[in-house]
Structure 1
Amino acid sequence: MSVADIMSHSGVAFGTSGARGLVSAMTDRVCFAYTMGFLQHLEAEGLFSPGQHVAIAGDLRPSSPRIMAACAAAIIHMGGHVDYCGFVPSPAVAAYGFARGMASMMVTGSHIPDDRNGIKFNRPDGEILKADELAMRAQRVNVPDIFDAHEMLLATPEMDPLVDVTDAYVARYVDFFGAQALHGLRLGIYEHSAVGRDLLVMLVEQMGGQAYRLGRSETFIPVDTEAVRPEDQILARQWAAELHLDAILSTDGDSDRPLLADENGNWMRGDILGILCASALGIKAVATPVSCNSAVELCGMFDEVRRTRIGSPFVIEAMQELAKAQHTTICGYEANGGFLLATPVDMGGRHLTALPTRDAVLPIMAVLVDAKRRGLALSMLQDQLPQRYTFSDRLQNVPTAQSQALIRYLQTGSDADILARLTHMFGALCGQAIHFDTTDGLRISFDNDDIVHLRPSGNAPELRCYTESADSERAASLNGVVLKIVRDNAEKGL
């Protein structure tokens, strides 16, 4: 059976960041087959052979240990050795693999609810890209008869002793920024169920800051850095005021997407955090998805900005193109705040190696250190950028097919027809539609300088909406009204 057949039968499919699906669909047999397809593809590329090691880690979802065991069983079946890294951030296990030239895997559903999970695959030289996904789909796998009637392993493999990847990951940032880089700062750590929660506390303390543990949960909380829950917004403001914090640090479930709140407890947008991080590191060329804030072009800080489709594989491909253009320092970032460092950075006699996968720690630490060095509060640091504000939210439990049908309807016909239809739908809110971009979903620019971007999620039954305006309250209120209009039209079958 091919991996494509398994995808079709199970409903577990590739999204923008690995394979994801319902936990009930991610049986041991399905996860075993996916891992076989991954390793067979690497073997064909000369990047894996029997006897080699593959690193594996997971997040704190209840289903992650079982799925990790199924993936480990497949690695062993293929003749590989498992480097079991335990429950650590996605970028930590990826960095471990990259440094050793070995493949790695992370069992995580990132920010989505824990009735779903997923597997992120990393080649020895970087994340898998879309070409790798196509090759994995085409793999034919001969899965052994080691499963029961419910497609679960008859015997769970024994894991090798735990491999510590945390110390090296923490040292990466302490060595670069300095052991006293956060001295004097009062920093809250919103722990919730993030796999990197203890690591963040360790990092703050080793960099001289005072860490305050907040909101730890032993049940999984699906924190989405692009759509921060109202209760998390309220908590952050309360914590900042009660504890007199300089900032609050957090991440999503697998700790590759950052959340950073300023001294007032206001969560910073991920695309603003990306601009500030790139500036703090002296980056010259930036790759970022089309959904991100246009302040990256307007600020004039970078020699080149290249826009991409949404998803780290597309950002990585754009970073590779920027490298061909011989830019000296290159990064990428996403609207969720995940930061990808394509080239090494040297600053103040210290060296930071490249890490071309989504990372939460670097943007948090780079921006905090830069603000402290300049004697500015985080809110003041943001105020120095062009005043463009973004907001994002989503319609949940919207079938992907329904979302795609609506987008097709909106962009059918000539350019003039499309602009007229968009003006008819949204004109009372934003004026005349003057431009649209179909790089990923549908991004619409209006003559009042508002921007509306609609996009079906690549890994969940959701329709995302990104809005941008010259005023933060306007961006937020516009988003809510747009989502209502979209919901009403989607229900009509348009």
Structure 2
Amino acid sequence: MGKYFGTDGFRGEANVTLTVDKAFQVGRFLGWYYGQQARGEVCRIVIGKDTRRSSYMFEYALVAGLTASGADAYLLHVTTTPSVSYVVRTEQFDCGIMISASHNPYYDNGIKVINGSGEKLEESVIEKIEAYLDGESGEIPLAERDRIGRTVDYAAGRNRYIGYLISLATRSFKGKRVALDCSNGSAFSVAKNVFDALGAETYAINDQPDGFNINTDCGSTHIEGLQKYVVEHHMDVGFAYDGDADRCLAVDENGEVVDGDRILYVCGKYMKENGMLVGNTIVTTVMSNFGLYKALDREGIRYEKTAVGDKYVYENMSKNGYVLGGEQSGHIIFSKYETTGDGIVTSLKVMEAMLEKKESLGKMAAEVTIYPQVLKNVRVKDKNEAQADPEVQKAVENVTAALGDTGRILLRPSGTEPVIRVMVEAETDEICHMHVDSVIRVLKERGLTIE
């Protein structure tokens, strides 16, 4: 991760960490950089945004920077992150920009840059952007006269994306009662249109954004409201998205949460049964629940584990040709249809499994027993030293041996803090706490912690 850009773009509090000046500079650099790659042709960059009040400010700043550098800026307006990815890769844009801080509160915002293949921007280009932001790479020339860029209203691109989503369904949703929690975010402009077109009885909640209520007590990070709604209104299923709709969690007919791990299982098993699971493999992160792995073992489905982050999941899938992967948080990637997590695609594929198998989501998801999990963060003097300490490693080995095939332990460093995370999954909370505390005790006895 760089100075400004993390694994999911340049994110921070609007006009505190992420300022309008920085957004203008990002636009200036991208317009110039991709203009150079265009070899004399006009550079075309497409922009989407979520519903935060500050998204308009950043949109205008980016447009000013892009057009000042000679690029044409195409505006999708309020839309989802995966729709920007889709439009970039299907309509030959040089790159795409999504203005969103995903599941963060309204006062945060972010700039996600998507390359011409619809994937997250390469680290090599991010390094160049950061060097420009820090004044290390010199001035960029301003476009003049007929080389100054223009702005194009491109709402038609979002409409084509909606049409694409509708085309993915294998059959009508007629007769199904579906609740959609739009998180007062990007999904409000897309999701209900798709489900209505497919014939569902669609009931959208949290679909009245006001610039401040995005993710507030709603959506995939606050799913309790959807659970209650599904039960009280006798829904067949509910889907909750985050602010930019690249995540999806589900709620079954009984009001039970079906998280990303269970969605991977439901869709993976269905795909295997129908010969669609390439390599008979699902890509997960190290934080997926032990219960998922037990269920996949039972079904004879292979899995691979990556570092935490949908970026790493997609890299593994792309390298090996796998078609399904994701995170417990609801970032699910179906690589046949997308190059990033797409919450609405995920909900459509869950519907497909339900309809084709003629089974409820509750019945399918119940085949996965989610194990209790305890995760504790320990502040340490040196992350690498703490993790490599022989006595700490021995303590971890002892826990692994004690759990056998009834659980697991994971010791991993934080990517941004002087913290070691100790996580245990086992059959009961008591067992989890006992083993987590045993490892933390060794860390303290070895003098590795910061009290």
TM-score for the superposition, normalised by structure 2: 0.79
Partner of 1:72: 63
Of 314, 317, 339, which aligns to 2:315?
317
Q: Alpha-carbon deviations, 1:10-51, whole Å to 9, x = none?
A: xxx22221111221222222112233444555566x368661
1:306 is matched with which residue: 294, 304, 313?
Answer: 304
How far does residue 380 in structure 1 lie from its aligned partner after superposition? 0.7
Matches within 5 A, 1:447-458: 449-451=407-409, 456=414
Matched, 1:220 2:210: no
| 297-306 or 198-207, larger mean C-alpha shift | 297-306
* Counterpart contact for 1:16–1:310, Cα < 8 Å: no
Secondary structure in 2 matching 1:316: helix
Is residue 112 of structure 1 aligned with residue 110 of structure 2? Answer: no
Q: Which letter does structure 1 place at the counterpart of 2:238?
A: I
Unaligned runs of 5+ in 1: 8-12, 146-156, 324-328, 345-353, 396-401, 424-431, 436-443
Do the aligned partners of 2:386 and 2:392 also contact (CA within 8 Å) in 1? no
Say whether residues 1:271 and 2:261 are aligned partners.
yes
* SS of residue paired to 1:119: strand
Change in 2 beyond 3 A, CA 1:357/1:405? farther
| In 2: Cα distance, 1:222 partner to 1:477 partner | 31
* 1:335 matches 2:328: yes
| Distance (whole Å) between structure 1 residues aligned to residue 197 and residue 380 of structure 2 | 47
| 1:31–1:213 distance in 2 versus 1, CA, 3 Å | same
Cα deviation, residue 89, structure 1: 0.5
Query: Which AA in structure 2 matches 1:134?
Result: E
Determine the C-alpha separation between the residues in 1 that align with 2:217 and 2:331: 12
Q: For residues 90-131 of structure 1, what are the alpha-carbon distances to aligned partners after superposition, in whole Å with 9 as ceiling and x for unaligned?
A: 001110011122110101101112222111111101221444
Give the Cα–Cα distance (whole angstroms) in 2 for the partners of residues 48 and 332 of structure 1: 37
Q: Does 1:433 align with 2:399?
A: yes
Structure 1 segment 312-461 matched on structure 2, within 5 A? 312-323=310-321, 330-342=323-335, 344=336, 354-385=337-368, 387-389=369-371, 407-408=383-384, 410-414=386-390, 416-420=391-395, 432-434=398-400, 449-451=407-409, 456=414
In structure 2, the residue corresponding to 1:368 is in which secondary structure?
helix
Describe the SS at the equivalent of 2:156. Answer: coil
Q: Distance in 2 between matches of 1:377 and 1:475?
A: 33
Closer/same/farther in 2, CA of residues 198 and 86 from structure 1, 3 Å limit: closer
1:201: Cα distance to partner?
Answer: 1.2
State the shift of 1:196 in Å.
0.8
1:160 aligns to 2:126 (yes or no): no
Inter-partner Cα distance in structure 1 for 2:123 and 2:246: 20
| Cα-to-partner distance string for 1:386-426 (whole Å, 9 max, x where unaligned) | x344668898xxxxxx9675755641422x43343x69xxx
Letter of the 2:389 partner, please give it: G
1:370 Cα shift?
A: 1.1
* Separation (CA, whole Å) in 2 of partners of 1:476 and 1:236: 32
* Structure 1 position 184, deviation (Å): 1.2
Q: Could you say which residue in structure 1 is the equivalent of 2:145?
A: none
What secondary structure is seen at the aligned counterpart in 1 of 2:263?
helix
**SS of the residue 2:204 aligns to:** strand
Tell me which protein shows more helix as a share of its residues: 2
CA contact (8 A) 2:289 2:371 kept: yes
Which residue matches 1:188?
Answer: 179
Contact 1:283 1:302 in 2 (8 A): no
Separation (CA, whole Å) in 1 of partners of 2:34 and 2:293: 36
The 5 A counterparts of 1:137-176 are: 137-139=130-132, 140=137, 142=139, 159-176=151-168
The percentage of counterpart residues that share the same residue type is 18
Give, in whole Å, the separation in 1 of the partners of 2:427 and 2:102: 31
2:277 is equivalent to residue 283 of structure 1: yes
Structure 2, unmatched stretches of 5+, are 143-148
Calculate the TM-score normalised by the size of structure 1: 0.73
Deviations 1:130-152 (A, max 9, x none): 4443344345253689xxxxxxx
CA distance in 2, matches of 1:392, 1:37: 44
1:35 to 27, 34, 38: 27
- CA 1:34 to 1:418, structure 2 compared with 1: closer, same or farther past 3 Å? farther
Residue among 89, 94, 118 paired with 1:98: 89
Is this contact kept in 1: 2:35–2:71, CA < 8 A? no
With 31-40 and 245-254 compared, the bigger mean Cα shift is at: 31-40
Alpha-carbon contact 1:388-1:468 (below 8 Å) kept:
no
